[in-house]
């Protein structure tokens, strides 16, 4: 082999080793990103879970309030509420047909 071929082979070997180090570095970075992404996703899911739980409790509270209002209204005006329920039933049955 000539000196230029040996230099070219050595240069190519160094270049390949540099590329190998770069690829290993990228693989490590991707692994770190995956771990961080999982942490971020878990944090977002926890936040979403807390928000849903809060909305559920607010909905249950509002439902109980509305149920109490309906019961009180029915006690004060039973015939009116019965007529409204009957009329709504008739309208819905006509729509369903």
> Looking at residue 79, what is its pLDDT?
93
Instruction: Walk along the chain (97 residues) in steps of 10 and give the mean pLDDT of each run.
Output: 66 80 79 69 80 88 89 90 92 93
Q: How far is CA 60 from CA 50, 55, 92, in A?
A: 15, 9, 27
Sign, Cα dihedral of 62, 65, 71, 76: negative
Instruction: Say how many C-beta atoms besides its own lie within 10 A of residue 73's C-beta.
Output: 13
Q: What is the pLDDT of residue 2?
A: 59
Q: What is the structure's pLDDT at 92? A: 93
Query: Where along the chain do its domains lie?
Result: 3-96
Helix axes 78-96, 3-76, angle to 10 degrees: 130
Question: What local confidence, expressed as pLDDT, does residue 74 receive?
Answer: 87
* pLDDT at residue 90, rounded to an integer: 95
Q: What is the pLDDT of residue 30?
A: 73
Model confidence, pTM: 0.45
């Amino acid at each position: 082999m000539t000196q230029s071929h040996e230099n070219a082979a050595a240069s190519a070997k160094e270049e390949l080793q540099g590329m190998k180090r770069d690829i290993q570095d990228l693989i490590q970075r991707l692994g770190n990103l995956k771990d961080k992404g999982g942490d971020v996703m878990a944090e977002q899911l926890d936040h979403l879970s807390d928000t849903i739980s809060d909305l559920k409790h607010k909905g249950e509270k509002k439902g109980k309030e509305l149920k109490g209002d309906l019961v009180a209204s029915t006690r004060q005006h039973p015939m009116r509420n019965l007529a409204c329920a009957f009329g709504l039933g008739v309208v819905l049955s006509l729509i369903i047909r």
